[in-house]
Amino acid sequence: MAMQRYEEDVLMNAPPPLKLLVRDVDDVFVIMHKGEVEPFFDLFNRKSEAIQFEVEKEENSRLPFLDVMVTRNGATLTTGVYRKGTHMDRLLDFDSCHPAEHKRSVVKTLWSRAEKVCSTGDSRREERKHFRKVFRGKVT
């Protein structure tokens, strides 16, 4: 709630260059003109020394946000699952002593995430291919 108030205070004094603003707790995804990025985030960072935002800009028309990779193709955005470079695909071991419902839940949750996050058939197919590797133990 505090970040929402902070954001609202800043946005009341900001010019309207935003095409999209999405916030999840303390992560913010913004679509705006390139020349407006620095001045816009300077407004956020000037409001309080205790709260400072870092700006991550798209590279090669791609920008990760939480566990989603957002890709820009002209005026169209597509999404797919994003994993950090340090991600190791270590999941609950099937041979562990955990209850079977926990093991099933891992598969179900990852599958559900792919269905919800992947906006194209190609990205869904890639994610399914990744599942097969992970669950067959062939991830490098």
User: What's the pLDDT tens digit per position in 81-130?
Assistant: 999 989 898 887 878 899 989 988 988 999 999 999 999 999 999 999 99
Q: What CA–CA distance (Å, rounded) separates 40 from 38?
A: 5
Pairing of strands 68-73, 20-24: unpaired
Please report, for the chain, the start and end positions of each structural domain, with discontinuous segments joined by +: 2-47, 62-135
Structure tokens at 92: 């609950």
Mean pLDDT for all residues in the chain? 87
In this prediction, residue 17 carries a pLDDT of 67
SS (H, E, C) 75-113: CEEEEEECCCCCCCCCCCCCCCCCCHHHHHHHHHHHHHH
Least-confidence region, from 6-20, 24-38, 46-60, 95-109: 6-20
Look at residue 47 in the predicted model and tell me its pLDDT: 85
